[in-house]
Structure 1
Amino acid sequence: DTVEKVNQLARDKVRTAVSGTTDRDERKARLAGIRDETMAALAEAISAGEVDAGDVDDALDSLHKEAVRRHILDESVRPDGRDPHTVRPIQVQVGNIPRVHGSGLFMRGETHVLTIATLGTPGDAQRLYTLQPEEEKRYIHHYNFPPYSTGEAYPMRGPKRREIGHGALAERALQPVIPDEFPYTLRLVSEAVSSNGSTSMGSVCGSTLALMDAGVPIDAPVSGIAMGLVQDQDSGDYVVLSDIQGVEDHLGDMDFKVAGSGHGITALQMDLKIKGLDFEILRIALEQARQGRLHILEKMLAVLPEAREELSPFAPRILTVSVDPEKIGKIIGPGGKTVRALQERYEVKIDIDDDGSVFISGLNGLAAEEARREIESLTEEVEIGKIYTGQVVRVEAYGAFVNLLPGVDGLVHISQLADYRVNNVEEIANVGDELTTMVIDIDPAGKIRLSRQAVLEGWSAEEARDRDRGGRRGGGGRERERGGRGGNRERDRSMRNGGRPRR
């Protein structure tokens, strides 16, 4: 009885309200007015208990749903006046927030999403403690749906299930295009500043814009679109809708989110309100989604065709060095002393992976470069035939010890100090002097033989070894034979340290 009374009072009015305007707020106002009129007409029955006010509201909602669905099925006209294939007007802006590393504002109809990108160091990655093989996550997307986006006001506490799900979907959509070799940790935050449906796909588009604005070299830009369905369960007639808005999501039969690049789909999510879906409907929905995604991409790329070549001046600069994993300890030092000293000296952050990848990050690119050079020198291998310039750290009668790399010294025998006969080592080298020498040999014990004469004469390492009189006699053995026993022991101790890393 209640349904019949409401139908007689309001059916034609609701149909007129739905078809008579394309403005959401005006339609809401008209429907609210119809409700008030219906409640006033049934006031006596409600007061007498003959009619329940809740049943009246339910009947009005059913009329609204029927009017919207019939208008779409019969006329192919949607509540905002669009046909089933048309995407709402799109506007795109980037770089609106200059202090952040990257930002993108994506506006599709009344749905506006602002995404901000932040570039962090590898050490900022999220640690994962799960049963999955992945131990960390370096691309993170958070989605916020504040109450003001729909004109509401309620307390904002922790993220809700819907926000977590939408954030995960948008994160999955961009994950395939994030370059593996890009060393930064990426955190994106999408804020729905205005909502009329499909904010999750708006956050996909906003994320793409923010990443490109930040200078992240993504493999391909990604866009997203939400597809809908209105199907008459009795006749089987149906209409597939592109880019659904809030009322179509609420009153329709399907919310099918499709995200992808020009090369293909990267993420899908479907919510159905009917028992099943015909394969032909799915095929049509995917094809309409492809056309819609490409249209949206075209609008986005018209504003920012590709990722910016330079990172934001406020983003950290990261340099990458690959070292022998066995030498990681040299960078870290006892108790982390060495790596802490490097970070303090150059004002950088250093992250070291077990595979030997070293990431140096800092706002000052020159300081990061200096830190990189020092790390390379800490782990560099001395090469035979290579020329080094180093400081003389010790002088003996048989030659001079020169520091080649941090903690690594080599011996220049007196016979290799010059291109003429040298009677006294100190004629050429004193402690603190810089000498340019060539590494001509490294014995099995790790002792390094150097030659200054090879540099002056332009010899190869082989030629220098042939002329190294000290080397033919065992690397300083001649000098040990000249002295007494006490002198021999002292020189033996000196030679044991020569060429090995100093501790």
Structure 2
Amino acid sequence: MQPESKVFTALVGGQPVVFETGKLAGQAGGAVTVRLGDSMVFAAATMSPEPREGIDFFPLSVEYEERLYAGGRIPGSYFRREGKPSTEAILTARLTDRPLRPLFNKEMRNEVQVILFSLSADQENPLDILCINAASAALMISDIPWGGPVGAVRIGRIDGQFIINPTFSQMEISDLDLRIAGTRDAILMVECGAKEVAEDVMVQALQFGHEALQPLIDAQLQMAAEVGKPKREVPLFPLDPTLVDQVYEKAAGALEAALDAPHDKAQLNEAVDALQKQIVEEMAAGDETLVEPLKNAFTEVYKKVVRRRILEKGIRPDHRTPTEIRPIWCEVGISPRAHGSGLFTRGETQVLTLATLGTPREAQELDSLVPIETKRYMHHYNFPPYSTGEVKPLRGQSRREIGHGALAERALEPVIPPEDEFPYTLRLVSEVLSSNGSTSMASVCGSTLALMDTGVPIKAPVAGVAMGLIKEGDNAVILTDIQGLEDHLGDMDFKVAGTEKGITALQMDIKIKGITPELMSRALAQAREARLDILKKMLAVIPAPRPELKPHVPRITILKVPVDKIGAIIGPGGKLIRALQEETNTRIDIEDDGTVYIASTDKAGEMAARERIEAVTETPQVGRIYTGKVVRVTDFGAFVEILPNVDGMVHISQLDSERVNRVEDVVNVGDEVTVMVTNIDPDGKIRLSRQAVLEGWSAEEAQERDRPGSRSGNGGGRPAPSRTGNAPRSGGRPGNESRSGGKPGGGNRGDAGRGTQRRR
């Protein structure tokens, strides 16, 4: 018997968001689908029956799997199935995880798993916001204890007006891409990209977004009331408050002394670790069952001491005031051969960003459900274990690394010059060399330095800073430029990047039940002051982008050729363009609209390639003089190749100023001669004259003298036969060809990578 499904609808921004449950995945703890337009995602939330042993944290995992069938596509991989998650899928999973996690009881040890995948993608309504709502709804109707619900919306801004859940088409003209998740009373998560939006506008957008998500909260509460399962009773593993008090009595004074003493990160960690070891040994007295509880109690005491010092005394672990920024120094030109490099150091956090410029064909091709085919600007972030003094195996990039790279990319994208002004593919790689908090924002600063060192004409320099929060009741202190300890023991990591004019990126991760717009407004104002101060220090090192690209950066020349001439450049199977690139040491990309990009570090090679392309694509014009090679001789004249694959005929009467009896008396096959185009008939046949060049005639004079019965220098000659053919010997565009010298069939097309974003 088919199970009965229940449908719940929330009207958000005038559009129905439809929740459905009861039909699918009956054995999951809770399962729902959420639909907006023709975009739909599925979410299932399940909890293990027993606590996981041997851990001291709450084990939550959130996974999003992007299925290309949702968009009617077959994966492009060799196996024709989805492989490892795409960057977009990883970012969506992170986006979904962040607002869910703070609402779980941290004393739980039962494993909770939320799995989502795409069911339908209409190429207009994004899936990421649907995932957050679907995960929240699945948890709400499940038997899993949780403090939700959470609602999530996207906010755009077009012509100064906020839009709820804009489509991909609308986002192309929006100056704001704000994703916000929250509960009934507070904001939990913010992820934002913007085109230099002012702080007051951002606060308005946050308030607008929080109000807009309320119908989603209502719908989920209705779902829980009507179809939700009873919440399961699970064992909790709280710290023993008596044990915490005992550790506090023994450790608080020593912790205060360690924090008061001058120290760096390593010295403080060493002192705290030694103190923990001493306390545990003394209090455990050989009882192994007390070791882990004492360690956990010590961590809680350490957190309490640090937070109390900040709230009551305004003293941070490194003795800064709440608004003070750590010492900063910067440098550019670290790498002599990288196209650009910028080193940014703030306290014990240090990031080196290196920039590489490439041709349009090197843009990244995307194989995802997002209606964007290519990316010409990429930002990658690496966080090796030595940056924190640790030893770990290298296993590729983590979800955190991918997320930090995407944040830095989002921060800088608004200032990257458009492709029609700067036709390069750009890749930035931020190497974290030393970490003590806020490496993602240091990556933004280092990347700005690297771009300016390269000579990229960015619209404005961008800086970033991470803000923190310590909150107990109504007492809240906002911290500027948080270090690692403050991030770990604090309540918020609020990252803000932007130019002097406004915000370009915003990200908030929160560990408490949420913060109000008023607190966020204070944090944004404090962050702006810090950002401007950081920008001053960066611009003292390099005040503007270098006026010229470095010598080893490829220069790109842009040509425009007729579309019907593309095949003549490429040649059969890409043979001609490959030879041209090899002979001139250049890289050549060709667009479908006839735009040609020539990239070379050698001026002579670039000029040679340009001249040959211009020669191949040039259209003969009456009156123009060409030097060509004789390719065929007949008794009535000679055929001369004036352009690649383009011949014209010089009648015997036009070969010389004197009468010519035999064509071979003047020219032979292989000779170079200079001729003028005197006529092009409707069939495209070209008439040439050598005599016109010798006599210095104009085109009109040459045409007058090159007619049957006219008196020219050689007595008029014989009348021209009807054949004056000039059809290209190998003209026309082959049917199976590559656009950039690649394999036949377009296997290595040069038209990939046009623009930071291209819609399908």
TM normalised by structure 1 equals 0.87
Q: Which residue is equivalent to 1:486? A: none
Q: 1:223 aligns with which of 463, 467, 477?
A: 463
Q: 2:683 aligns with which of 445, 449, 453?
A: 445
Q: Deviations over 1:436-464 (max 9, x none)?
A: 33323321100112344554565543444
Q: Which residue is equivalent to 1:4? A: 245
Report the Cα offset of residue 58 of structure 1: 2.3
1:125–1:187: structure 2 CA closer, same or farther, 3 Å change rule? same
Query: Does the 8 Å contact 2:708/2:719 carry over to 1?
Result: no
Report the Cα offset of residue 407 of structure 1: 0.9
Q: Which residue is equivalent to 2:212? A: none
1:34–1:471: structure 2 CA closer, same or farther, 3 Å change rule? farther
Verify: 1:15 aligned to 2:256, yes or no.
Answer: yes
1:285 and 1:451 mapped to 2: Cα distance? 79
Report the Cα offset of residue 129 of structure 1: 1.6
Verify: 1:35 aligned to 2:276, yes or no.
Answer: yes
Q: Deviations over 1:270-319 (max 9, x none)?
A: 10112222222212211222222222222112112222234334333433
SS of alignment partner, residue 355 of structure 1 = coil
2:603 and 2:370 mapped to 1: Cα distance? 36
SS of alignment partner, residue 173 of structure 1 = helix
1:226 and 1:75 mapped to 2: Cα distance? 22
Q: Which residue is equivalent to 2:154? A: none
SS of alignment partner, residue 42 of structure 1 = helix
Verify: 1:214 aligned to 2:451, yes or no.
Answer: no
Verify: 1:403 aligned to 2:403, yes or no.
Answer: no
Q: 2:299 aligns with which of 61, 67, 86?
A: 61
2:573 and 2:432 mapped to 1: Cα distance? 47
Report the Cα offset of residue 325 of structure 1: 2.2
Sequence identity, in percent? 58
2:302 and 2:296 mapped to 1: Cα distance? 10
Q: Which residue is equivalent to 2:60? A: none
Q: Deviations over 1:38-60 (max 9, x none)?
A: 2244234x6296xx332222222
2:247 and 2:544 mapped to 1: Cα distance? 56
1:325 and 1:207 mapped to 2: Cα distance? 38
Structure 2 residue identity aligned to 1:213: D
2:561 and 2:674 mapped to 1: Cα distance? 26
Alignment of 1:80-479 (within 5 A): 80-179=318-417, 180-181=419-420, 182-232=422-472, 234=473, 236-417=474-655, 429-455=667-693, 459-470=697-708
1:377–1:166: structure 2 CA closer, same or farther, 3 Å change rule? same
Query: Does the 8 Å contact 1:229/1:253 carry over to 2?
Result: yes
SS of alignment partner, residue 129 of structure 1 = coil
Query: Does the 8 Å contact 1:315/1:363 carry over to 2?
Result: yes
Q: 2:287 aligns with which of 39, 42, 47?
A: 47
2:547 and 2:598 mapped to 1: Cα distance? 20
Query: Does the 8 Å contact 1:398/1:479 carry over to 2?
Result: no
Query: Does the 8 Å contact 1:17/1:31 carry over to 2?
Result: yes
Verify: 1:24 aligned to 2:257, yes or no.
Answer: no
Structure 2 residue identity aligned to 1:214: T
Query: Does the 8 Å contact 2:654/2:689 carry over to 1?
Result: yes
Report the Cα offset of residue 245 of structure 1: 0.6
Number of aligned residues: 482
Structure 1 residue identity aligned to 2:243: T
Structure 2 residue identity aligned to 1:14: L
Report the Cα offset of residue 267 of structure 1: 1.6
Verify: 1:501 aligned to 2:728, yes or no.
Answer: yes
Please identify, of 243-252 and 2-11, the stretch whose mean Cα deviation from structure 2 is larger.
2-11
1:145–1:441: structure 2 CA closer, same or farther, 3 Å change rule? same
1:48–1:266: structure 2 CA closer, same or farther, 3 Å change rule? closer
Query: Does the 8 Å contact 1:19/1:71 carry over to 2?
Result: no
Report the Cα offset of residue 152 of structure 1: 0.7
Query: Does the 8 Å contact 2:708/2:718 carry over to 1?
Result: no
Query: Does the 8 Å contact 2:316/2:322 carry over to 1?
Result: yes
Report the Cα offset of residue 430 of structure 1: 4.6
1:29–1:373: structure 2 CA closer, same or farther, 3 Å change rule? same
Structure possessing the higher radius of gyration over alpha carbons: 1
2:624 and 2:717 mapped to 1: Cα distance? 27
Please identify, of 349-358 and 153-162, the stretch whose mean Cα deviation from structure 2 is larger.
349-358
1:349 and 1:425 mapped to 2: Cα distance? 43
Query: Does the 8 Å contact 2:338/2:356 carry over to 1?
Result: yes
Report the Cα offset of residue 113 of structure 1: 0.7
2:264 and 2:609 mapped to 1: Cα distance? 60
Q: Which residue is equivalent to 2:21? A: none
1:152 and 1:469 mapped to 2: Cα distance? 89
2:621 and 2:441 mapped to 1: Cα distance? 56
Q: Can you give the 5+ residue segments of structure 1 that lack an aligned partner in the other structure?
A: 473-477, 483-490
Q: Which residue is equivalent to 1:487? A: none
When the two chains are superposed, the root-mean-square deviation of aligned CA atoms in Å is 2.7
Q: Deviations over 1:1-45 (max 9, x none)?
A: 21222222223333343344454333333323432342244234x
2:654 and 2:371 mapped to 1: Cα distance? 57
Query: Does the 8 Å contact 1:73/1:238 carry over to 2?
Result: yes
Q: Deviations over 1:340-378 (max 9, x none)?
A: 221232233332222222233344331232122111111
Structure 2 residue identity aligned to 1:227: M
Report the Cα offset of residue 243 of structure 1: 1.0
Q: Deviations over 1:58-97 (max 9, x none)?
A: 2222222222222222222211111122211111111122
Q: Which residue is equivalent to 1:78? A: 316
Please identify, of 456-465 and 439-448, the stretch whose mean Cα deviation from structure 2 is larger.
456-465
2:635 and 2:658 mapped to 1: Cα distance? 17
Query: Does the 8 Å contact 2:709/2:719 carry over to 1?
Result: no
1:481–1:411: structure 2 CA closer, same or farther, 3 Å change rule? closer
1:382 and 1:449 mapped to 2: Cα distance? 11
Q: Deviations over 1:156-185 (max 9, x none)?
A: 112111111111111222222222232333
Please identify, of 88-97 and 311-320, the stretch whose mean Cα deviation from structure 2 is larger.
311-320
1:471–1:280: structure 2 CA closer, same or farther, 3 Å change rule? farther
Query: Does the 8 Å contact 2:366/2:375 carry over to 1?
Result: yes
Report the Cα offset of residue 433 of structure 1: 4.0
SS of alignment partner, residue 143 of structure 1 = strand
Query: Does the 8 Å contact 2:497/2:505 carry over to 1?
Result: yes
1:230 and 1:411 mapped to 2: Cα distance? 87
1:409 and 1:263 mapped to 2: Cα distance? 60
Query: Does the 8 Å contact 1:99/1:314 carry over to 2?
Result: yes
Report the Cα offset of residue 385 of structure 1: 3.1
